[in-house]
Structure 1
């Protein structure tokens, strides 16, 4: 599962998580945001499940997969989408494009007579989180 929220300037804070019921010694998040490095981004086991949070650039889509115990590739079945990979399967996709629009809107508002209200931004984010 993925959850997204506005991060630091131009970034989206994305949390990738898997259920705690999933048995594994190690789980890594592998994708184009880390050069498909199989060991660069480990998820950590918590009482709420396996998780990691990354700050990704707004306005992009990223492909990724989970590598469990160094030999099992899994998709995120709650991803924003899927893209074919060169190995005959699919990669999961996380989409941060809507956040680029929010970031631009917030930047334009600085110094202008009308600044978007917090409820306006929250309603836009609610639309993002519900898909």
Structure 2
């Protein structure tokens, strides 16, 4: 009977250690400035791969007018990608209007830098 008690006690300790050792998702998610840098870089890369030089200039103008305001509700996927809610404000050129957006964006850490992955709507 003592063997079972020791096994159960040891199992509980291991379970507690596993819970304590697991880092918080928020500690693993990008900060607002990191997310903004990664999202803007992803938009630029997408424009370079898929658009004309004129469209590239438009994307550069648009991302200069976009600002990430919050990142939350990140979920770790099986491939270690984080899928997060990213809130941003965008002010179209020539207007005073500010549009607030909420997008699901994937993030991965690559060489100590966050990389954003844009998804089709």
- What TM bracket, shorter-length normalisation? under 0.3
Q: TM-score, normalised by structure 2?
A: 0.23
Instruction: Give the structure with the higher percent helix.
Output: 2
Choose 1 or 2 for highest CA Rg. Answer: 2
Instruction: Give the structure with the higher percent strand.
Output: 1
